[in-house]
Chains A and B, each alone.
Chain A
Amino acid sequence: MDNEGKALDYNTPSIQYASLNYYLNWLGNIENLTLQIDHIIHNPRELNSNWLSIIQRLNQINDYKSLFIKAGYAEINKQSITDALVTFERSLVQPSRFDEYLLGNKNSINKQEVSGFRLFKEYGCVSCHQGINIGGNMRQTFGVMQRYYNDDEVLKVRDLGYYNLSGHADDKFLFRVPSLRNVAQTAPYFHDASAKTLTKAIEVMFKFQIGMTPSQQEVEDIAAFLKTLDAVK
């Protein structure tokens, strides 16, 4: 939702593992968390604010003053606010059951989840959802085997993806591959939030990225595997 209560263009991603991403946002247009904070604060459709007013507001609240000093910052300014927020976001990273499995604890995920992992590899999902954050380090076309949007459908600007920034014809429908950590907790899915459930999202990925229809069993297995990526509480 934007500051007037209307839906934003893009489905807002979770911040829990944002610090592990190579670049941020659906287009991958922001390099790091510091820049992202700056971007969000100035974006007219998000916070629509500026540092001066934020610093003034924080200074008016005595609790914040003492908290900033306790945290080791000399004063409330752009640097200290950004640093505090980035440090907070970095502290949110937690291991999942799947991480334990990869570290050698074979009992941390069950048989169905293992077979889901196998399917995840066999169907080539890993070629994009890869690396420490299981995604978030590259851009990929949304709709490799067939177009996600019908020809007669009127395209929204945001659906052109990275093309909006680069202007390169090859970059149409190119989006940053999202991280799959905590995926079961972060419905709805895709940049336009078009998939409301995890199963639906898996089916869409099969249809448009791989070009085939999965069996019910396969979808369930993969969904079970994806649930092992949730942060251990």
Chain B
Amino acid sequence: MIRSRLIGSFFILALLFPLPILWIYLSSTFEYFESDIESRLLLMEVRNRDTELAKYLLTSRSHIENDFDKIASAQQAMFKTMRNFNAYSVNLDQTEANQAKKVSHLFNEKIEQLERFKTLHAKLTNSLRLLPKLSRIIQSKFNDNKVNQNYQIITLMGDVLTSTFTLRLFGESAVLANEYQRVDQLKQLIAFEQDQSLVTSIDTFIRHAELFLSLRIKEAKVVESLLANRLEQELSLLDQQLIKKHQQEFKATEQQRQFLIMYVVILFFIILLFILNRQRLLKKVTKHQLLSEKDQLTGLNNRRSFINQLDDSIKSARLAGHYGAIIFVDLDGFKAVNDNLGHLVGDQLLQKIAVRLTKQLYFDKNKIISHCTARLGGDEFVILLESKQCSDIKVLAEDIAEQALACCANDLGDKYSSLSLSASLGIAVYPSDSNDITELLHFADLAMYQSKRAGKNRWKFYSDEK
């Protein structure tokens, strides 16, 4: 019972020891993956925002979508992403932090450039809307006298308009050169014009055309630098650096993890070995205990264990006020058995009597608290009794002695019929006779010899013979 519980607790220990270490191992692995995934998600978000902005930039530029609300909300999302990114980059190492700073800087630059693009683009759109309107206003102001010159102006303005839109769509340098030429021609033509309001209108037209042309180049530059995507390059660089760093980290921690696993495995085996060894030792110990306490031939308690028991018994009797008796049993005529029938038969006889003394004796459980039978050696046996009552002990001892006599004399078998076998018994009582083990045994021995002398096959109390 106790042994199995011990083994169980050892098993639990064996399981519990590696568990926290395994947990540390797993959580460190997960942590690594978590931080890796976090950085990747963040970089992906930055990339996505960047792509989104490029998309809106191009759609705005090609007039597919002409309001900036989308760009504005994309910029707002970008600010938020950038804030997350900056918060993340605080924890990075020097190299990566510098790279992250670069990315962050480019990001802000990009947002600034987008602002510039919006401003320029709105101006361009304004001119684009205004030029046709102005041309209509100018046409309405013409009088019919100067058909020829007016015709020229109208044609030129038509050309300017067409080419502004062409430029808007295709942006070819050849068209651009012609455009400047036409604007110059227009300027020369209105130099001779007298109608002041007409001149003002055409002048406005020319200024808008010129503004358009100059802003167009600026806008093209802004868009070019926006689409050059230095951000993407720096971001990829950062990405590579982070992956490299993570790989190194993982490798470094992997070695630690391997050591951890080895440690756990070794620990487990050591604990297992301990358990197995303990079991082996336990078995050995019990075996030795049995060997040291039992008589090898009969299986009864041997002299040593009997003395221990007697010692305990005397001590407990003294404390509790109990009484006890030892009955010394010595076989009569046993030497003849050995001599005539051989030692083997003698041993068999001893075994038989031992079995009888353990199984056939009747102990009254109401009166006898404990009892024990032992073989002291040779043909000597001893029976220990313990009782609560002083008056009972002698009666009980007599009763048991009577039974023991019967065990040793009656119906031993045909083999022994030729020999007269019996037993002589001596009884010593404690505490009345003595409280000392040696003395008690000696007294019982003396009583036994009295029985032998009195003609064998009987029992005597030491107290009666004194």
Q: Which residues of A are in contact with B by a Cβ distance under 8 Å?
A: 22-23, 31-32, 121-128, 130-132, 137-141, 144-145, 166, 168, 170, 174, 177, 209-212
What are 30 A-B contacts with C-beta separation under 8 Å? Answer: A22-B68, A22-B76, A23-B72, A31-B76, A121-B129, A123-B130, A124-B126, A124-B129, A126-B129, A127-B66, A127-B121, A127-B122, A127-B126, A127-B129, A130-B67, A130-B122, A131-B67, A131-B72, A137-B69, A137-B71, A137-B72, A138-B115, A138-B122, A139-B115, A140-B122, A166-B112, A168-B112, A209-B126, A212-B200, A212-B204
Asked whether, in the complex, the Cβ of A139 is within 8 Å of the Cβ of B119, the reply is yes
**B residues less than 8 Å from A210 (CB atoms):** 126, 130, 204
- CA A132 to CA B67, docked complex, whole Å: 9
**A residues less than 8 Å from B118 (CB atoms):** 137-139
**A residues less than 8 Å from B127 (CB atoms):** 124
**A residues less than 8 Å from B125 (CB atoms):** 124, 127
- CA A125 to CA B71, docked complex, whole Å: 19
Question: Of B69, B112, B128, B208, which one neighbours A132 at CB under 8 angstroms?
Answer: B69
**B residues less than 8 Å from A128 (CB atoms):** 122, 126
**How many Å from the CB of A102 to the closest CB on chain B?**
13
Q: Which of B115, B121, B126, B201 has the most CB of A within 10 A?
A: B126
**How many Å from the CB of B1 to the closest CB on chain A?**
59
**B residues less than 8 Å from A124 (CB atoms):** 125-130
Q: Is B73 an interface residue (CB 8 A)?
A: yes
Asked whether, in the complex, the Cβ of A140 is within 8 Å of the Cβ of B129, the reply is no
**How many Å from the CB of A18 to the closest CB on chain B?**
14
- CA A144 to CA B127, docked complex, whole Å: 11
- Given known contacts A211-B207, A212-B201, A141 and B119 CB-to-CB distance under 8 angstroms: yes
- CA A137 to CA B129, docked complex, whole Å: 20
- CA A125 to CA B208, docked complex, whole Å: 14
Q: Which residue of the partner chain B has the closest CB to A31?
A: B79
**How many Å from the CB of A181 to the closest CB on chain B?**
14
Q: Which residue of the partner chain A has the closest CB to B75?
A: A22
- CA A14 to CA B71, docked complex, whole Å: 24
Question: Of B75, B119, B128, which one neighbours A174 at CB under 8 angstroms?
Answer: B119
Counting chain B residues whose Cβ lies within 8 A of the other chain, the interface size class is: 20 to 34
- Given known contacts A174-B119, A212-B201, A138 and B68 CB-to-CB distance under 8 angstroms: yes
Q: Which of B122, B124, B201, B211 has the most CB of A within 10 A?
A: B122
- CA A121 to CA B125, docked complex, whole Å: 11
**B residues less than 8 Å from A177 (CB atoms):** 122
Q: Which residue of the partner chain A has the closest CB to B222?
A: A170
**A residues less than 8 Å from B119 (CB atoms):** 138-141, 174
Which positions 125-143 of chain B face chain A at CB distance < 8 Å?
125-130, 133-134
**A residues less than 8 Å from B124 (CB atoms):** 127
**A residues less than 8 Å from B73 (CB atoms):** 22
**A residues less than 8 Å from B133 (CB atoms):** 122-123
Q: Which residue of the partner chain A has the closest CB to B203?
A: A211
**How many Å from the CB of A191 to the closest CB on chain B?**
16
- CA A166 to CA B116, docked complex, whole Å: 12
Q: Which of A32, A127, A132, A145 has the most CB of B within 10 A?
A: A127
Q: Which residue of the partner chain A has the closest CB to B137?
A: A212
- CA A132 to CA B73, docked complex, whole Å: 12
**How many Å from the CB of B184 to the closest CB on chain A?**
19
**B residues less than 8 Å from A23 (CB atoms):** 72
Asked whether, in the complex, the Cβ of B130 is within 8 Å of the Cβ of A130, the reply is no
**A residues less than 8 Å from B201 (CB atoms):** 212
- Given known contacts A22-B76, A138-B122, A130 and B66 CB-to-CB distance under 8 angstroms: yes
Which positions 90-132 of chain B face chain A at CB distance < 8 Å?
112, 115-116, 118-119, 121-130
**How many Å from the CB of A135 to the closest CB on chain B?**
10
**How many Å from the CB of A171 to the closest CB on chain B?**
8
**A residues less than 8 Å from B72 (CB atoms):** 22-23, 131, 137-138
Q: Which residue of the partner chain B has the closest CB to A144?
A: B123
- CA A209 to CA B73, docked complex, whole Å: 26
- Given known contacts A127-B125, A145-B207, A137 and B68 CB-to-CB distance under 8 angstroms: yes
- CA A89 to CA B360, docked complex, whole Å: 106
- CA A174 to CA B79, docked complex, whole Å: 21
**B residues less than 8 Å from A22 (CB atoms):** 68-69, 72-73, 75-76
- CA A133 to CA B307, docked complex, whole Å: 110
- Contact mask B346-380 → A, CB, 8 Å, 1/0? 00000000000000000000000000000000000
- CA A140 to CA B118, docked complex, whole Å: 8
- CA A23 to CA B111, docked complex, whole Å: 13
- CA A144 to CA B119, docked complex, whole Å: 11
**B residues less than 8 Å from A139 (CB atoms):** 115, 118-119
Given A31-B79, A145-B207, A211-B208, 14 new contacts (CB under 8 A)? A31-B76, A122-B129, A122-B133, A124-B125, A124-B127, A127-B129, A130-B66, A130-B68, A131-B68, A139-B118, A141-B119, A144-B126, A212-B134, A212-B200
**How many Å from the CB of A39 to the closest CB on chain B?**
16
**How many Å from the CB of A111 to the closest CB on chain B?**
20
**How many Å from the CB of B197 to the closest CB on chain A?**
10
**How many Å from the CB of A148 to the closest CB on chain B?**
15
Q: Which residue of the partner chain A has the closest CB to B73?
A: A22
**A residues less than 8 Å from B75 (CB atoms):** 22
Asked whether, in the complex, the Cβ of B123 is within 8 Å of the Cβ of A127, the reply is yes
**How many Å from the CB of B67 to the closest CB on chain A?**
5
**How many Å from the CB of B221 to the closest CB on chain A?**
11
**A residues less than 8 Å from B126 (CB atoms):** 124-125, 127-128, 144, 209-210
- Contact mask B35-51 → A, CB, 8 Å, 1/0? 00000000000000000
- CA A187 to CA B56, docked complex, whole Å: 34
Q: Which residue of the partner chain B has the closest CB to A127?
A: B125
**How many Å from the CB of A122 to the closest CB on chain B?**
5
**B residues less than 8 Å from A212 (CB atoms):** 134, 200-201, 204
**How many Å from the CB of A127 to the closest CB on chain B?**
4
List of 3 A-B pairs having minimum Cβ-Cβ separation, nearest first: A124-B126, A22-B72, A127-B125
**How many Å from the CB of B81 to the closest CB on chain A?**
13
**B residues less than 8 Å from A122 (CB atoms):** 129-130, 133
- CA A130 to CA B116, docked complex, whole Å: 16
- CA A145 to CA B126, docked complex, whole Å: 11
- CA A131 to CA B211, docked complex, whole Å: 24
